[in-house]
Chain A
Amino acid sequence: MASATRRKAKTGRFTGGLRGIEEEILGAARAFGLDPLPTVFELITHDQLNEVAAYGGFPTRYPHWRFGMQFEELQKGYTFGLSKIYELVINNDPCYAYLMNSNTLVDQKMVIAHVYGHSDFFKNNLWFSQTNRRMIDEMANHGTRIRRHIERHGEKTVEEFLDAALSLEWLIDYHSVYSPLRKRTRYEFDEEEETASVQRLKTDRDYMDRYINPPAYLEAQRRKIQERTQQQRKFPEQPMKDVLEFLIEHAPVENWQRDILSTVREEGYYFAPQALTKIMNEGWATYWHSKLMTEKILGDAEIVDFADHHSATLGVQPGALNPYKLGVELWRDIEERWNKGRFGSEYELCDDLARKRSWDLRLGEGREKIFEVRRIYNDVTFIDDFLTKEFCEEQKLFVYRHNPQSNRYEISDRDFEAIKKSLLFRLTNMGHPIIQVVDANFQNRSELLLKQVHEGVDLDLEEAKDAMKNIQRIWKRPVNLQTQTEDQVKLLTFDGQKHLEEDLSTPVA
């Protein structure tokens, strides 16, 4: 199949054989109790797949160079054989799945089964319940609107603002979507905007300008607008984690800029559940593709190829945790424990190791339990509830740490508590630092005060300064950030010109 007999690979919707396979797998999945969204499969080339992946799954997304950067990385990875994407699933109704057309038939079967696992998870996991199921349309709308802003305000202006806005894409309060108090997920704005600056009448005769636009009048208008915006500015009553929302409501920006902030925020909320359930979701899909393939779908001749590829997805490197592997093993462990009744105080308090090892109440509640877990858990609660000491030992988990003396990463601990703590920390807030808006009138000078909720790990200060620069571009007034390095509380300030750093003896927030 080398280039000598170049075969024109098919792209597009499933036809013929694959269509039958798709139905067979779906039938088997339903028989096991899976309940996936209607799923549309598309076969595409690796170039196209890399393009779709670069756009985070949405080829109609707004234009931005970082997608180009992503594309370059994916293309390079593929060309040099370092990485290969088998499939891409989009949480949408109907669910869209992109498959690489050069996958072998066994791969395609495995991938289809995997996709149904994801699709079932999207539909039934609580944390996905608030996501927009028409996101493909919504993303296209975002694209259209941002293209319109570009036409109106120029490529450079919009790009600069988008760059600034994207600095904040993680500064949302992803729990808030489940709160009944939450009013809206996105904002609507008039195209016609109320200008924040004084409108001058146009004249091309300079000497007339001062009669047509009398300076005194302009000054009065300016003051009026200023007063009005001053009044509009409110301070958050409580520290706000949704920095984007705060800026949308209170930053002195134009409406098209608000629209961009709102777009970034909305997409952030859409992607958040995927980051919140990475281990569960990948584990769930892997669990089911493995079960469906080995028990229902595969022919005798295919089993070796399947095992080969399946083991590749579950491979572990000492330095990196494979969410597929950790996830699928945890799911299996839960199923086994609930099948054998290895839970509850009686089991946990039992100190007879031999008895514990052979503990089996023949409850057979495993399947039921994993479906329940799939419904209401996310990664944090999943690890918190189901990671056990026995599991850590069996899976040979460890904590590694950078050793400054040898300047390398070393295994530091195999203690269960340490492993769990480290894992949970990684998963908290999706691995991002927690930043809050504390005061919008800091020092009574309408400066913005942000605060890192310090959990023992410091920020990358250099990058934080760059991010503050971007926030200042939106807020316009100086931006402050209270953070901590080691035990010293610090206040970073960016006033639009330069960065200041001050050690605080008493925190300001």
Chain B
Amino acid sequence: MIKRIEKDFARFREIIKGQIRKDLRKYVTHGEMIGKRGKYAVSIPLPSIRIPTFRYGKNDRSGVGQGEGEPGTPIAAGDPQEGGGQAGDQPGEHLLEIDVTLDELAQILGEELELPRIQPRGKSTMYADRDRYNAISRAGPESLRHFKRTYREALKRTLAMGQYDPDNPIIIPVREDKRYRSWKVKQVPQNNAVIVYMMDVSGSMGEEQKEIVRTEAFWIDTWLRSQYKKLETRYIVHDASAKEVDRETFFSIKESGGTKISSAFGLCSEIIRKSFNPAEWNIYPFHFSDGDNWGSEDTRKCLDLLNESILPQVNVFCYGQVKSAYGSGQFKKDLDEHFKDSDRLITSEIRDKSGIYGSIKDFLGKGR
């Protein structure tokens, strides 16, 4: 029988999801709304899920406590309003932190932005090894001992050796009798994806621009992860030269100096060539900059790189232009002009935080 609470709990989860859906634009726009992020879930603070009642407000911030201290001593406890002197039987009030799995979040994102499911490329050719515990072996850890099989072997041996006594049917297994559960390796079709994030970290990209990129990257990760079994991410930063970094560095590094976008594109195609065979991987390069590049010479080099070595390999190449006080925004114009008819290149302009919502839709809305 299904427990009563499970129904109410399910309904509660549904309401939460509705709430997140309703406020999705807010959550997408403010990176900090997504609180702690774990491997499979994020926790989202929801302020107003409780039923509204008449209650005392702000100037009720006092109460009675117990302990040492002179007047003026700060009290160490968190927020003393949580039950502080309150003799009601209501539980303490606080923000509700709700764990939502990344899958659920991706689903909400997909539904709200009307993102199409991605058709992976070449899925028939890609296989991955999966372990299945459906075999028996003669060696193994005791915790995986297969009791029935072990008993059967011991019984067989005892019978064969004529030691079986029906009146006293004690079977003692020896080491040779023992059987253990074991695994078989099975090949299952799998589609893999890799995201190569590139970001311009030259002087003109400020904190706000990076925050936009960070937020956007979170949502792109979330969506693509829901579409592929396995998702890898690589990070490239560049100013006048490019280098590969880890995630932490990617979002915190601060460089100065000029901008040569071609350096990043070169490194990107190098990474793809070395580690990600396009026949096995769905490849998504994302590039973020403020649109400034070092002269038209370098831009031409970028276009060549895209044309020759990047676009033929990838599912789609996305360029996000984050508006900054210094950026000219020329690069997007160049790309748009040059790749007018290409469906493998998407550009999007992100004016400020509120532009994130639209640009995610630009990038992922094509279902490639």
Contact = CB atoms under 8 A, between A and B. Distances in A.
Interface string A41-62: 0000000000100110001100
A117 B55 CA distance: 32
Interface in B20-75: 48-75
Nearest to A50: B5
B77 A320 contact: yes
B63 A399 contact: yes
A351 interface: no
A285 B5 CA distance: 29
Interface stretch (B82-90, B253-261, B356-364): B82-90
Given A68-B11, A323-B87, A398 B5 contact: no
A486 B63 CA distance: 19
Interface stretch (A16-24, A361-369, A431-439): A431-439
A411 B64 contact: no
Given A69-B49, A430-B87, A457 B75 contact: no
B77 to A, nearest CB: 3
A466 B62 contact: no
Given A409-B74, A411-B75, A321 B57 contact: no
A303 interface: no
Nearest to B13: A68
A384 interface: no
A320 B55 contact: no
B87 A318 contact: no
A325 B66 contact: yes
Nearest to A415: B71
Given A379-B87, A397-B64, A400-B65, A470 B8 contact: no
Interface residues of B, number: 55
A73 to B, nearest CB: 7
B15 interface: yes
A446 B184 CA distance: 76
A376 interface: no
Contact of B67 (A51, A316, A408): A316
A67 B11 CA distance: 10
A51 B3 contact: yes
Given A406-B74, A419-B64, A432-B54, A320 B91 contact: no
B74 A408 contact: yes
A409 B71 CA distance: 11
Interface string B107-135: 00000000000000000000000000000
Contact of A457 (B10, B49, B56, B89): B56
A455 to B, nearest CB: 10
Contact of A400 (B8, B57, B62): B62
A320 B85 contact: yes
Interface string A155-173: 0000100010011111100
A274 interface: yes
A426 B54 contact: no
A348 interface: no
Contacts of A397: 64-66
B87 to A, nearest CB: 5
A359 B69 CA distance: 29
B65 to A, nearest CB: 5
Contacts of A406: 74
Interface string B84-110: 111111010000100000000000000
A65 interface: yes
Interface string A162-192: 0100111111000000000000000000000
Nearest to B80: A319
A169 B50 CA distance: 13
B80 A409 contact: yes
Contact of B54 (A51, A70, A171, A469): A171
Contacts of A401: 61-62
B218 interface: no
Interface string A395-416: 1111111100010111111100
Nearest to B11: A65
A387 B10 CA distance: 46
Nearest to B84: A320
B148 interface: no
Contact of A319 (B56, B70, B78): B78
A224 B54 CA distance: 36
Contacts of B60: 457-458
Nearest to A51: B5
A298 interface: no
B76 interface: yes
A322 B66 contact: yes
B80 A320 contact: yes
B147 interface: no
Contact of B87 (A55, A171, A427): A427
B69 A426 contact: no
Contact of B80 (A54, A316, A400): A400
Contact of B70 (A170, A379, A411): A411
B96 A69 contact: yes
Contacts of A63: 4, 7-8, 11
A459 B56 contact: yes
Nearest to B86: A431
A319 B75 CA distance: 6
A460 interface: yes
Contact of B52 (A65, A167, A275): A167
A396 B66 contact: yes
Given A68-B9, A398-B65, A433-B56, A318 B77 contact: yes
A72 interface: yes
A185 B69 CA distance: 48
Interface in B325-343: none
Nearest to B88: A431
A504 interface: no
Contacts of B76: 317-319
Contacts of B12: 65-66, 68-69, 72
Contact of A432 (B55, B65, B72): B55
A411 B53 CA distance: 29
Nearest to B66: A316
A271 interface: yes
Contacts of B55: 432-433, 459-460, 463
Contacts of A322: 66
A486 B56 CA distance: 13
A373 B283 CA distance: 77
Contact of B85 (A166, A275, A423, A467): A423
Interface of B: 3-5, 7-15, 48-80, 82-89, 91, 96
7 contacts: A275-B88, A398-B71, A399-B64, A409-B79, A432-B53, A458-B59, A464-B52
A-B complex: 3 closest residue pairs judged by Cβ atoms: A319-B77, A319-B80, A68-B12
Given A166-B51, A318-B80, A467-B52, 5 more contacts: A318-B65, A322-B66, A410-B72, A432-B54, A432-B55
